[in-house]
Each structure stands twice: as C-alpha cells, then as structure tokens.
Structure 1
Amino acid sequence: QLLYRMAFAGFAMMNLMWISIALYSGADKGEFRTMFHWVGFALATPTLLYSGWPFFKGAWSGLRHFHLGMDLPIAIGAAITYLYSLYVTLSGDTQGEVYYDTVVNFLFVILVGRYLEAISKRQAVASTQRLLDLQPRVATVIRDGEEHIVPIRSVKISEEVLVKPGERIPVDGIVVGGSSSVDEAMLSGESQPLSKRPGDQISAGTINIHGVLHLRVESLLQDTALGRIIRLVEEAQASKAPIQCVADQVVPWFVAATLGIATATFILWVGTDFDKALMAATAVLIITCPCAFGLATPMAIAVASGLGARHGILVRNGEVLERFSAIDHIVFDKTGTLTKGAMSVTAVAMAESAWQAGEEMPMKIQELLSQLSAVERYSEHPLAAAILEKAGRSHDVIENGSFINQPGFGVGGIVSGQQLYAGTAAWMDHNGVERTPSLESIAAQLDQQGVSSLRVAAGGVEVALISVEDPLREDAQALIERLKSDNIRVTLLSGDRRQTAELIAQRLGGGMDVIAEVLPEEKDRVIAQLQSKGEQVAMVGDGVNDAPALVRADVGIALGSGTDVSIASADIVLMSNELEKVALASALSRRTLRTIRQNIGISITYNIIMVPLAVAALITPLVAAISMPVSSLLVIGNAARIRTLFRKH
C-alpha cells in the first residue's frame, strides 16, 4: 500500500513538474494560467486524498484520542497549502500563486522516506523472520500404517511423524524409532551435531542429518521451543524501554510546540508577504515532524533484540536492555553455570575398601551405589545424576513414602529395610549418624584439597565417602576476566564449603567475591542484601532453586539447558549455553542504550538547526520534505550500527 501511494504521488509529481516549467517559462497569463491551475487541481486533489490519506487518518485518530501524533503537522501543512491553492483557483485571483506542485512533491518525498523506513525496519527485525523460516510448513504423518504429507496445523498431539534425512524437524517430540544425528546450530548454537536415539527429546526447527527418525508429537507450532523463542523475540521487539516511555510522553508536547511555532511564523511574515508566510509556516510543520524522535528507541531495541536472538541471546523486553546497561555486579551460581553441571564420581572410600576412577570397582562398593541409587533416583541434584550414572542398572527399590529431601543438606530413604542417608556432615549430625574416624580423616584431607564429597550412612553409621567432581566450563575463566576488565564486580555463589568455593574462585583467575555455604532458599536473600547496598545486580543461574534469585535480581539470566522454571523466571535466556554470551549481552545492552541516546541527540540537533531556517523562510516546504525523512534515515542507520558489535565478536 505504501509503495502504491508513493507511485501515485510520483506520477502526479512528474506531470505537475511540466506544468510548473510552463508557468515559470511565461505561460502564466490569462487563460493559460487558469487552465494550468485547474490541471494542477485535477492532479493534486486525488493525490492528496489517496497518497495523503495515511497522514490524515493518523492525525484524526490521534485527535480522537486526545493525542497529538506525528502525522498531525504533515496533515495540517498539506491541507493548508492545498486549501489556499484551491481558494486561488476558485476565486480566479490573478495575483495569488497556487502550490499544488508543492503539496504533491512533499507528499511524494515523505512517502519515499516512510517507504525507506519500512524497508529498514523490516531488515532490523529480519531475525524473527529467519526463526519463522525454521518452522516447516508440512509434516509426514504415519496414519493407518501409511505416510501422509499434511500441513503442520493438521498434525495432532501424540501422532507419529516421520522425518527423513536432510529434512527439518516439524514438531517437538520424542524419538520412538530410528537413530540419527541432528544439527541444532540454528536453535541452540551447538556447533556439533547431536546423536538422537529412542527416548531422546528433539526440537522443531532442527535438521535431521542422516537416518530416518520416527517421532511422537509432544507440541506443535507456537507451543514448541522454537515457537516460544519466536514469541519472546516478537514481544521484545514490540516492547518499550523506560527511556522510550519518556520519549512517547514528550512527542505530544513536541507536536504542540511545532503548531505554536508554525502559527508564530505565519504571523511573523503575513504582514509583508502572505505567500511567504504560508510557505514558511508549512515548512515549519513539515520539518519539525518528530518521526526521528519517535524512531530513536524502538529501532535500536528491534535491532538489538533481533540480533541477540540470532546469536542465542533471548531478551524478554526492551526494559531489560536498559536495566542491564546499568548493571555493576554479576552473581554466578556455581553448579551448572560456571561448572558443566555434569558431576562424575571420581572415588569412593569405605572402611574396608576403596575405589578410584580407572580402577575395577569392588563388589561392596557396587552394592552400596546400587542401594544409594534407589534413593537418589528421586532427587534433582546434579550429585544424584552422577551416582545414578556410576551405579548403572539397579534393581533396588526404595520403600513407599520413605524418601526425604532437604535441599542444601541431603536425602534419605529406606532400601531393603535399611535407612540410608546421603549428604553433608550437617545432614549426618541432624539425623544422629555415628561418624567413622577413618572416613572423617579422609574427608578432612579432601576439604583441604577443595574436593567436593558426599557422606553416606546406613543403619545410623557413616559407611562411605563419595568424591565427586564438576569440571569448570572452558569459557568460564575468560568470561570472568572480561567482566572484570569492564569494571563489573563478580561474585561466586555456592552451597559448597568456603574452602572449596575459594579454590574454585582461584581456578577462575581470582579477584572475585565468594559467598559460600548458601542454602538454595537463601540465594534470593543474598541478592536482596547486595541490592540494599545500592548495587545493580544481575544473577546467572540454571536450576529450579535459582528461580527466586533470578526474579529478585535486577536482571536474571538463565542458561538454555536450565530448567523450565529458571528460564521462565529469567529476563535473558542464553540458548547456546556459552558463558561468553553473558559478556556479549552486557555489551549489547550498553551499546543499545548508547545508540538510543545518540538517536535522540540526532533528532534534537536536527531540529535545533533546521527549525530556525524554516522560521526565517530560508527553506521551502519541498526542501523541508526532503530533509525530514533524511533525519529518520540517519536514526535508522545509526541503530543498524549495533550489528558491528557482533562482527567484533
């Protein structure tokens, strides 16, 4: 529609140009003058009604809601210039001038500017379209033993979908047949294809590389992981940052000031030259259109959130970008955030036997791990996963109703008629467990080395000590160093003993604060204490027990591999699980806010320079119409410069 209106105005402009040339060449006397006036009227009237309709519609809509919008000065300028020209034409005034060409020319130029703005906006939010393109339009469904290619909207939950090599996965589902490697790079940022076999979860938008996969449909369209990502990006691009809310409040006053200046300009010149007064006032109305001011914030947010999504950084809304730019303290949960969250059992010590990784495991220890796995099966702690992996297949079963779980301390349950406890020293004391001196001696040595360990008790007596290791992420140290170089304070938050937590901090390069021995329910209290000191705090975590702290923080950041609860609680989600994206998100927020301020500066500077020229009648409405969209395009181009941040990284 915008292109059609622009083309219509362009056609009228070219024809009116010939009439103007004729008038300026001397055909401005008698019947020729009158004829050219009526021809100008015939061309300008449909142009004003059709090409100028969006401006009149926008102006009227704003007035109906008692809002002075950006279209009002343009509509008034075009209408007044046209009505004056119509008066001269109808009255047959031989002295007055008509300005049909001016009306058509500046409508055409403004529409060209709006069209270029629309193209630039489309490019700015192209990241959303790229995500939409990941969603296949059709799927191959197995019905009554036969393959049917159907539109994705007609697929039902729990149906079986067939995905051939090279095809995109159309749904979120569970592999029920076949095996393959799947490329998840576009969705999660994972560079290496991931092996998928029966029982594995698989996401829409990923690519099946080789092998045929049979999936049971779990979710479709907007309910898939891809759909939720798209919705999050769209909401972010449509959202407003606080600085934009201020700008929106300023615009009506800006328009009112424009109308006042235009009126004063007309009064200033009308006593000496009516035509000059009309053209100067019209130029003021056009040149002070606050379009650039209105674009300053939304364009920067649209570019930033779209580019962030392309690089695995999902920002919930524009306000988050503004808040993150002010962050001066980032708190990292240790387990699963700075570490890989994939704990492994490295050693087991019992009173009568011991085992270390790489050795053959004694039968006694195998039996203990088998029994312990029956209890840990109901725990969500990473330690539980490590024990289950090391125990392998177990036939031991916990008695119904006997499982107990105290987050931050340990678990317990009855297996084969015997009460088992696994957890911290405090958990042992809480349950009245009798300590074993030889195991306590080993525990003391492990504590000095900063090695995490788990105590196990059976029948009220401490029987084993399990050593576990959770390796640091490869990019953790580089991230910490970069944040410190950006003058951002960094804190390690851990439930480990202080000695263990400080050892990890040293391995990360030192120079960071350590808050240790923190229970899960105390994490949000720690964040609140830091905020009470006037600090702007961001929290990075991935577990269920991180959710309250993520909500409490000024900005909550969750890793994409985290739980649904932590992701739902976060302001920013890092889909690729690359910790370096925390620093990139911080840089993106600062660049975005700086760009918004630059854009507002461009708009203000433009008006400071151009308005006095228009008031002094040194600028015609046509020149004003040309310069007005140029200011908007400068704002759009400046917002597009945010892309250079990602080229550097």
Structure 2
Amino acid sequence: MEPPQPSRCFHCGLPILPTTAVQACIKGTPRAFCCHGCEAVCAAIHAAGLEGFYQRTPEGEVFSPPPELPRQLDFYDLDEVQQAFAEVAGDAREAQLAVEGIHCAACVWLIENGLSSLPGVLEARVNLTGRRLRLRWDHARLPLSRILRRLGELGYAAVPFDPRTAELSLQRRHRALLYRLAFAGFAAMNLMWISIALYAGADQGEFRTLFHWVGFLLATPTLIYSGGPFFAGAWRGLRHGHLDMDLPIAIGAGITYGLSLLVTLTGQGAVYWDTLVNFLFVILLGRYLEARSRREAVSATQRLLDLQPKAATRLSADGEPSLVPIRAVRVGDRLLVRPGEAVPADGVVQNGRSQLDESMLTGESAPVPRGPGQSVAAGTLNGAGALEVRVTGVLRDTQLGRILHLVEEAQASKAPIQSLADRVVPWFVGITLLLAVLTGGLWWSVDATTALLAATSVLIITCPCAFGLATPMAIAVATGSAARHGILIKHGAVLQQLSTATQVVFDKTGTLTRGRPTVVALLDETGLWRADDKDQPLSAAWRQRLACIAALEQRSEHPLARALSDFARQQGVDFLALPVDDWRMQPGQGVAARVADQQLVLGSAAWLQTVGVSRQARLAQTATGDWPGATVLHLAMDGREVGRLLLRDDLREDARAAVHALAAEDMRVSLLSGDAQAAATAIAARLGGIEALAEVRPEGKAAVITGLRDAGQRVVMVGDGVNDAPALVSADVGIALGSGTDVSIASADIILTGNELRRVPQALALAQRTLMTIRQNIGLSIGYNLIMVPLAMAGLITPLVAAIAMPLSSLAVIGNSTRIARVFGRAVD
C-alpha cells in the first residue's frame, strides 16, 4: 500500500492539484510541489545553502506561487535605463526595487542573505512594510539583470521602484479602506432600525429572538470584512512578538461579538450588535480621515513630483520638432520649450529669451529672466517667450529630482526627540491590555456585562497612535513646506539641532557678498589709479604688470583670480601667450610663479613675508578709506614689492536684512573671513556691527567652529565654497547656498536653492515652530489618555463613544502639525 501523498505544496503551502502536481527529490528527500515554479525555487534555495528559510517561515503560512519575472531583464543593464531609477555616477550604484512575493520576515531573511552571497552586491536591505529592496551593487562586477534573475530563482519578481506606481498603490489601499467603511456604514444604518425596535419594547416580545438573529446576520459579515484588517494586523503583531495597536481593537471587537452571540444563543441579556458595527464604522471612518489628512499634510512631495513634465518637444538635427516621452530625452538633446510650458529637463538656453516662474523650486514668486547661456531647471514654468534648451540633466539628475530625493529622505528620517516615542509606544499596548484586565476584574463583582463593556472601552479608547504621529507628522509637514520655499532640509534631526542654535557664522566671500569682486584701485610708487575715474588712463607699467598677473591667475579658480583676469581683459591686455613656470599657491595666502622670466608673488602681506619679500614703506599708506572692506593684494616682482591692488566684493541685497533678523532673535552673528582684520571689521560694521573673525586660513575655519562649540555655543555655519566644507561639517548645522560648490552642498545639512540669505532666519523660525509643535503634539496625546482612560475605567464611556474619541486624538495631532505649513507660509510670503 502506497503512503498517502502530501496535500499541500512543500514551498508555498497551497493545495496540490492532481493536474499540476510535481514530485522532486530535494537533498535526498522526496518533496511534493503544486507547480514547477515552486519546485525550481525550492531547489535554488537549497542549492544556495539557504534552506533555513523554511525553518523561519511562520507555521501554517500560505504563500502564492512564484510570480513571473519581468521580460527582457537585460534592458535594465543599460546606463540610459538605470539613470531613470538608480544612482549611476560610477560603478558603485544604488537603487530601490519594488519586490513582488514578499510575505513575512522569513522572506526578508531569504532575500538579504540570498543576494549578499553574490559577488558584487554591496548591500541588500528589505523593507517588509513597503515591500521594497534598497540595493547597492558594483555594476562592473555584477549586472543588475543577474541580481533580478537571482531574485527570480528565489521566488520573487522585482522591478525598479516608481513613486508614481507607489502613489497608485496608496490610492488602491485608500479605496479598499473606503469600501470597508461603506460596508460597515450600510450595516450600521440597518442595525439602527433593529436597535430602535428593541429599545422601543421589542426586546420583551415574541420577535426579540428574531431581531437578535437579524443583528447577528448583519454584524458577522461586517466583523469579517470591515473588521478583518484589525484581526490580521493583531495576528501579524503577535506572530512577530510585537504588540500592535490593532490588538486592543481586535480584542474589544471580539469580546463585544462573543458577548452578543452568547446572549443570542441563550436568550438571556442584551445584545450589542449595533455597538460592534457602529464602533467598527467609526474607527474605520477615523482611519480614513486620518489617512487623508496625513496625505494632504505631506503632499509637498507629490506636488514636486507633479512638476516633472511627462513629455518634451525634442528638436532633430535639422530643427524638426517631435513630441517624445521624458524618459527618451538624453543629455545633449535640444528641446523646444513653448510659451506657457514647463521646462522638461535641466539645461542651458541656446536661443530665445523669456521669463521663468521658479517659485516651486526657490520660493521666489517674481519671474526670473532667462536668455542664451543661462541655465534653466526642470519643472519651472516658461513665460511668454519660446526657448531652445540644450539638456544637461534629466529625471533624477535634475535639480527637481535631487530636491525630491532630499525631501523624501528628510520625511523618512527621525529626529532625536522621536526616540522617546519609539521607546514608549511598544509599552503602551501592553499597559492598555493590563488596564483592560484590571477594569474587567474590578467591575466583575458588580456586573459581568458592565465589566466586559468597560474593559472593551478601555481597549478601544487608549491611543498611542497620536503619540507615535507627534514627531514624524510635524517633520514631514515642516520639510515639505520648507522645500516649497527654497529650503532643503536633508534629515529631520537638523530641525531639532537648529531650534537650539545660539550663534550663526557666515562665510564672507560668495555668501555675505556676491562672490564677484572687482578691481577698484591700483597703487604704486607713482600714485593711486582709481577705476571710477574714467579720465585717468592706465599706465604702461601697470598694463605690463596686469599681463603677468592675469597669466599667473589663469590657473586659479579663486574669485579674486577670476576678477583679476576679467579686469585685464577689460583693459585690453594680452596675457595668454606669456609662459608661466614654477606655479605654486597657498590657500588663503596667495600665489607665486615665474612669468616671462620674472618672479611674481601676489597675495597678502603675510604671504610676501613668508616668501622673503619685504614691504615697501612708501606703499604703506594705502588709501582705502573710499572702499571700506576692500581686499588688498600685494604684488612683488623679482623680490621687490612694486604695487598693491584693491578689490571689493559688494554685499548681497538681503545680507543686512538677514543679519538684522537674526540679531532681533538674540542670535549671536559672526563673519568669518581670511581678509585682514581691518577689512573684515569694515564689512562687519556695514552689516550692523557684528563680530568679525578675520585672517582665518581655509584650513583653520573648522578649528574656529570647533572652538566656538567648545565654548558652549550651538553653531550654524553658512557657506558656499570648497574651503567651507570642513567648517560646515564641524558645525552643529551646516547651511550651503544652492549656487555653491558640490563639495559644500554635500557637506551641508540645509541647502538654500534660491541663494537667499533671508531664508536663514526663516529656517531657524521654522525649526523652532516645529519643535514647539512636536511638544504640543506629545502633550495632546498624553493629556487625551490621562483624561479618557480613567473615564473608561470608571464605566462612564461606552465602546461607541470610545470609538468616536480614539481617532479624534490622532486627527488633533495631524491638524496641529498642518499649522506649521500655514504659519510658515504666512511668515515667508
């Protein structure tokens, strides 16, 4: 007699049908599978030594058969395709994948361990809740298609994560919640008529039992369909050792249902079918309103996403326009942007002039003129003129794409204050269960029905949800609102650090000033030449010196070097043919080289002394009174100082206003510069007499910031240059201008996309408002539970009233958080 055949698949646990049954020997043991797909997956898991997956799979868990892999996986290996969803700057790449087939923590273990064993996978982390895989891999060693095939071998199908697809998935979940809510509402309305009849005296007549069974027939499917997610969530939490908020709701609903069913079967007592259905309806209504409110509160990300056009008008080589999807646009393409259209990609204007609305990227409402040679950003709205744009960045590589990425990262991050909520919430449910048992025990001696109802009210009314939402909701609203006004916050912890700042340190060149210095005067032994005196010609000696200086500065990217080269061109001085040898530079000090057989040294007085050049006494009385704050460069040729050059960089228009706004908040404001003390002090005086930290070399800026922090200050550093990066990292909060270097932007915690200094005090005000809101939210949550839980334990609140009150606390937290956007919007507009 043959042994009985297994009835369920060894891999997925589904029933085995005779028409599709598969038998295979796995590691010497015969196994039965429902299909060839499950057999292949099981064989691959054992071949990789990952059979521990089956020990980690929860008892009785039923999966679905392995999903079908996407076709043409090699398509995802192309750089052009990966640019749409991955970081492709080098061989080390990163992407997020949406994975189909994830069921439980065992799946997470299998995917992470199954991929980590592949040579070339640098990191694989699975988000069980979002069914997403964050993958880092070496593209030179391992193509993405091989990773996707490996996932297929393990029983999972993965595709690049698309925020729009995620948005559609969120809409489907909201729709399903709405359907459950509608079902519960329909049952509640019908049960209301039965309740009216029972309360009117039918509970004493011959139809009493009939009404009870009709209530049972209405309440049972409502509990299964509308209340099903609560029981599923509670079971998932228990299975993974986590006390979920669905657990008290499931217990409360189960107790109410069981009590009513007992009364219906025995005919003794009152039923609570209407209470059960009504509180399920109210809880679902609260969750639906909470989901909608939360989505609207953090809708800044979606609004930014909506700015990205879906198509673009591409110009062919002969100028013929054609409409193409945005994913088909490549760097170097020429695009036509018609009046009223959104710019599809970052680029440089080749032809045409217009005005662009950049308010959603920079927060500045005034249109910005754009013409040939000027850059435009994706998502900005074109005005009345047509533009021909050469593409420099598309999709994720655009300014809009980077902003969207930073906003998503910030909204997903945690502030340090949130750790309090993270520690408390897991204990909250346990305390709730304990209080419910205590309440039931205290009331049991008085009346069993009252004990059950009071315990159910305690289970339903306690709400850690509001406590858990207190911090993330406020941070999500704040970062989204800040992004709409040109303030990009990289992570939530920055808001808490910024709210406690006591000192703001501004770099001078390029931050407080325009970063475009100009030559205002030249001084040598013959006298002073002024740039504003149009009748005074430039001497032949200075023209020769300028040629050598411009040739010397050609190798430098410093703003002063560019200013000197531009000045030489304006004066018609030819310097390109001059040979330059032995060039060397000391950051923050000066440069030296041999130009046209002459040894040139240009820089600060300390730099001349360092290289052994003495200063000329007759040049010591430099007339700088007409140019307060001007930078003085000393010029030496063949070991002798021959002249001095005065350059001035005008302040930004909003520099004084920003400094005054910070000072009005009792903030200590300082200027950090490598200039001489007199020049830095003069600029500080023009800004309102702030502190001037002068003669600081680039490598010494970080030390200055560290010293201020050691002295007890919480320092905010604002800069834009390469040499500001160490100071930005050393500060409690680093703020970089969007026009700054890539290094400074990468080192900063906050980026000002509109390059407006007035956003600095606004960011500080936003941080203070956010932390105040978080504390208010925590207070609301604690106060609600301190008031409502004792009332429920005293039997003064019914389960229905508890169901109404519970979601109100979460809605109160959400509503309070949305006030951040309104208050901040009024303050900056």
**Alignment correspondent of 1:102:** 275
Correspondent of 2:441 among 264, 267, 286: 267
Pairing of 1:319-468 with structure 2 (within 5 A): 319-352=493-526, 354-360=528-534, 361-362=537-538, 364=540, 365-392=542-569, 394-397=574-577, 399=579, 402-433=582-613, 435-442=615-622, 450-468=629-647
Tell me, yes or no, if the aligned pair for 2:363 and 2:484 is still in contact at 8 Å. Answer: no
Distance 1:113 1:380 in 2: 59
**Alignment correspondent of 1:593:** 771
Correspondent of 1:128 among 274, 281, 301: 301
Pairing of 1:64-83 with structure 2 (within 5 A): 64-83=239-258
Query: SS in structure 1 opposite 2:268?
Result: coil
Distance 2:427 2:548 in 1: 73
Query: SS in structure 2 opposite 1:641?
Result: helix
Tell me, yes or no, if the aligned pair for 1:179 and 1:212 is still in contact at 8 Å. Answer: yes
Correspondent of 2:460 among 270, 277, 286: 286
Query: SS in structure 1 opposite 2:641?
Result: strand
**Alignment correspondent of 2:32:** none
**Alignment correspondent of 2:179:** 4
Distance 2:593 2:351 in 1: 36
**Alignment correspondent of 1:139:** 312
Further displaced range: 545-554 or 127-136: 127-136
What do the CA deviations read for 1:25-76 (whole angstroms, capped 9, x no partner)?
2222576233222222222222222222332233233323322222221122
Further displaced range: 425-434 or 132-141: 425-434
**Alignment correspondent of 2:799:** 621
Tell me, yes or no, if the aligned pair for 2:658 and 2:757 is still in contact at 8 Å. Answer: yes
Say yes or no: does 1:46 pair with 2:225.
Answer: no
Label 1:500 to 1:7 Cα distance change in 2 as closer, same or farther (>3 A).
Answer: same
Label 1:559 to 1:3 Cα distance change in 2 as closer, same or farther (>3 A).
Answer: same
Query: Which aligned runs of 4 or more in structure 1 are off by greater than 6 angstroms?
Result: none
Tell me, yes or no, if the aligned pair for 2:463 and 2:809 is still in contact at 8 Å. Answer: no
Letter in 1 for 2:499: S
Say yes or no: does 1:472 pair with 2:647.
Answer: no
What do the CA deviations read for 1:531-558 (whole angstroms, capped 9, x no partner)?
1123211111111111111111111111
Q: How far has the Cα of 1:10 moved from its partner?
A: 0.9
Label 1:646 to 1:196 Cα distance change in 2 as closer, same or farther (>3 A).
Answer: closer
Instruction: Please report the RMSD computed on the Cα atoms of aligned residues, expressed in angstroms.
Output: 2.3
Tell me, yes or no, if the aligned pair for 1:396 and 1:415 is still in contact at 8 Å. Answer: no
Letter in 2 for 1:57: A
Distance 2:667 2:296 in 1: 33
Query: SS in structure 2 opposite 1:66?
Result: coil
* Count of aligned positions: 645
Label 1:153 to 1:398 Cα distance change in 2 as closer, same or farther (>3 A).
Answer: farther
Q: How far has the Cα of 1:173 moved from its partner?
A: 1.8
- TM-score, scaled relative to structure 1: 0.94
Tell me, yes or no, if the aligned pair for 1:74 and 1:289 is still in contact at 8 Å. Answer: no
Correspondent of 2:716 among 525, 538, 544: 538
Tell me, which stretches of 5 or more residues in structure 2 are unaligned? 1-175
Distance 1:202 1:108 in 2: 51
**Alignment correspondent of 1:303:** 477
Distance 1:68 1:453 in 2: 69
Further displaced range: 380-389 or 149-158: 380-389
Label 1:402 to 1:188 Cα distance change in 2 as closer, same or farther (>3 A).
Answer: farther
Query: SS in structure 1 opposite 2:585?
Result: strand
Letter in 1 for 2:286: G
Letter in 2 for 1:390: F
Distance 1:500 1:598 in 2: 47
Q: Choose between structure 1 and 2 for higher RCO, CA contacts under 8 A separated by at least 6 residues.
A: 1
- TM-score, scaled relative to structure 2: 0.74
Tell me, yes or no, if the aligned pair for 2:474 and 2:817 is still in contact at 8 Å. Answer: yes
Distance 2:676 2:409 in 1: 42
Say yes or no: does 1:580 pair with 2:758.
Answer: yes
Further displaced range: 626-635 or 184-193: 184-193
Tell me, yes or no, if the aligned pair for 1:396 and 1:416 is still in contact at 8 Å. Answer: no
Correspondent of 2:284 among 101, 111, 119: 111
What do the CA deviations read for 1:454-498 (whole angstroms, capped 9, x no partner)?
122333333331111112223323332332332222222111111
What do the CA deviations read for 1:554-602 (whole angstroms, capped 9, x no partner)?
1111122211211111111122222221111111111111111111111
Further displaced range: 179-188 or 15-24: 179-188
Letter in 1 for 2:726: P
Query: SS in structure 2 opposite 1:464?
Result: strand
Distance 1:266 1:159 in 2: 72
Label 1:12 to 1:399 Cα distance change in 2 as closer, same or farther (>3 A).
Answer: farther
Q: How far has the Cα of 1:357 moved from its partner?
A: 2.1
Distance 1:614 1:494 in 2: 64
Label 1:186 to 1:370 Cα distance change in 2 as closer, same or farther (>3 A).
Answer: farther
Letter in 1 for 2:460: I
Say yes or no: does 1:225 pair with 2:404.
Answer: no
Further displaced range: 488-497 or 387-396: 387-396
Task: Give the helix-richer structure, 1 or 2.
Answer: 1
